[in-house]
Structure 1
Amino acid sequence: MKKSFDRFLQTKAASVILPAATIVLTIVLWQVGVGLFNVPRFILPAPTQILAAMNQWSPVILRHSLTTLTSTLLAFALALVGGILLGSIIGSSRLAHLCLYPLLVGFNTIPKVALVPLLAIWFGLGTIPAVITAFLLAFFPIAVNVAVGLETVEAEMRDVLRSLGASSWEIFTKVGLPHSMPYLFASLKVAISFAFVGSVISETVASNQGLGYLIVSASSSFDVPLAFAGLVALGIMGILLYTFFAALERYVLSWRQ
């Protein structure tokens, strides 16, 4: 019995059935618990109340979702380009690693929420502070993982390629970059989540649009089901993008299997 279950866990069906079953069970327990303990909707709404709010306010949620998604994807694209460039420089040069890596780590320790009021002063309310905040959160894991991937290339392999007449650029493109791809894709799945966090943080403080703004506005008027509907929209977008990058990783790195 145990062996059959272990074999089932290795199948593709298990990767779909088990997460779906867990989500359904969580929703059922949530619904039953709220009804059983008679929890007020302004404290913790039932899933059916959240679904009703999503249906009632669907045009508003969709509009704010598109704003958040646009800011997040723009910031993520900038973080991807910047992270790969800086990570490549740090991972390929000992001098750059010694000079830039401590600055990168030090800046990353600054809570980004503390920068949002300053960004609002510099750039005003709206999309720009959200994009910058999301970029700052998504940039670090990409840059660090690319640098680590390049640094872990075996020195013996570099020496062999140099002895065969390969240039530094050829070593980077033929060995370093492919070697760092697993690290890069691992960081992408983390960075896209961080980008959403950055967008929402900025929207709660320095914006009059986006899901962060919607959640704060709904909470201030005690419309908690609408606030949870915004959270559900965030979760759905995050899961879809995470799934996309996971599928892209399996496709691009199929040679690892």
Structure 2
Amino acid sequence: MKKCLWLSLCLSCVAGCSAFKPTSAVNGHVVPESKMTKGQWVESDPNRIANLEIRDNLATLYQLMDKLYKRNPSQWKKSGATSQARAEARVKQAIETRQPLPGLDGQRDIAAMTLALDTTYAGDRVGTLIYGLGDMLVTAHGGKTRLYLIDGVDAQRVYNAARNVEITMWMLAQRKGKDGQPLLVSNELSESGRNLSFERLFGTMIGRTDLVAEFAAEKYRRSAINYVQSFLGGQFLQFLPVQSLSGAASAAQ
């Protein structure tokens, strides 16, 4: 009976491997895969997922900054920078080094986001908004852009961060100044064309963040399930016989 179970398990593994053969790339589109680094040896699976989420969300946020500056070129000039590239570099540095953005009197995360969308604010709305969003996302992950084995993820904080991105997307599309014009030009729906790329990028960030929040919320349940699965899987393992091999060796001598 045990031999039948062992054979069934082996056949199932072989069938599973054949069922999940790598799919060929179409038109050069392949799943992005990071190179192996020393840091990955001290990352748990939840850490790795959260690290990929933070990395990709910041990259998407910088895409949004570039697009917003291009559609609102007057904003980067308010920052005092000599070019759009320099304005972007200053915001990135403030987010990634966890430093306050100059000119905001120390206001960070949701406070900076609120300021950027205040109708009376006369500063660089784009830089302030992107800085606030980036700082808020990093703060929700314990103030780190890279998590290791000793670090945990607070599911509720990450979930709240996703909702804040959602609120930002809505406010950006709806809030207008005293002149009736949008505080920042983003999506466009007109007879001349449709540009919903901003909404798409925001949606991508929300989806990533929500997934990590849900995964983190299930971490204790998954730990119990993984333990049970490893215990049950161990029942199929058998020690290899050694007596016949020893006997054959003795006979040869």
Does the alignment reach a TM-score above 0.5?
A: no
Structure with higher Rg: it is 2
Give 1 or 2: higher helix fraction: 1
| Higher RCO (CA < 8 A, seq sep 6+) | 1
